[in-house]
Chain A
Amino acid sequence: EIVMTQSPATLSMSPGERATLSCRASQGVSSKLAWYQQKPGQAPRLLIYGASTRATGIPARFSGSGSGTEFALTISSLQSEDFAVYYCQQYNNWFALSFGGGTKVEIK
């Protein structure tokens, strides 16, 4: 199983600031990496796939980068609705999908 490790566990930020979240895979996953956002009481929502392609309806302030084992999600200017938990997921081996433990972006 490919293990996904996210850092930091919690990111304390102010609205308007730039946030960068990291995700590392235990082995190379090419660009088959997705990011999801989860708000309290809701299911995760797809933000990014293919490491850098925004899903339908996702604002341009969200961007993804990386390939192989190191990935990042950047939120260029945090809006109030962006404070949530973010998960990365590899699908390079999609018969054995795996998710990271999450990064919580909280209001400072």
Chain B
Amino acid sequence: QLQLQGSGPGLVYPSETLSLTCTVPGVSISRSSYYWGWIRQPPGKGPEWIGSISSSGSTYYKSSLKSRVIITVDTSKNQFSLKVNSVTAADTALYYCVRHDGTVIRGGIVDYWGQGTLVTVSS
């Protein structure tokens, strides 16, 4: 059973940078058919896709967040990471690291989710 383990600070000050890392133990994230991504969920609301990255480093971001978001991958550590800069209270949410299919037919189906990391933006 694949596990995704997200980690990072639970409190970020306004205007600063949110940084989270997801580790995938026991499975090589280099497998080319999958993408690794971040989805957030504000309290009481639906999930919002932030962006995804392939094992080779190709990235795709939600258009409204693109100017503030960077997703990177470190296959040697079996980790991928999220940075969101210039955060505001609107970035307060439960942040999930996820795996989704990257094939033509099934691309975008999210089959594994991490446990979620609650990030609060507040002074």
Contacts and interface: CB of A to CB of B under 8 A. Distances in A.
A96 B109 contact: no
Nearest to A1: B63
Most B CB within 10 A of own CB, among A1, A46, A95: A95
Interface in A49-108: 49, 55, 87, 89-92, 94-102
Interface stretch (B18-26, B43-51, B83-91): B43-51
A101 B46 contact: yes
A87 B62 CA distance: 19
Q: Dominant SS at the B interface?
A: loop
A43 B39 CA distance: 11
Contacts, number: 58
A89 B39 CA distance: 12
Given A94-B100, A95-B60, A44 B47 contact: yes
Contacts of A101: 45-46
Interface of B: 45-49, 52, 60, 62-64, 96, 100, 106-111, 113-116
Interface of A: 1, 32, 34, 36, 43-46, 49, 55, 87, 89-92, 94-102
B108 A94 contact: yes
Contact of A99 (B48, B52, B107): B48
Contact of A91 (B47, B62, B108, B113): B108
Contacts of B64: 1
Given A43-B116, A96-B62, A32 B46 contact: no
**Secondary structure at chain A's binding surface: helix, strand, loop or mixed?**
loop
Contacts of A34: 108-110
Given A43-B116, A95-B60, A100 B46 contact: yes
Residue of A94, A97, A99, A100 contacting most chain B CB atoms (<10 Å): A97
Given A43-B115, A44-B47, A97-B49, A89 B63 contact: no
A94 B39 CA distance: 13
A49 B64 CA distance: 26
Given A43-B96, A43-B113, A43-B116, A97 B46 contact: no
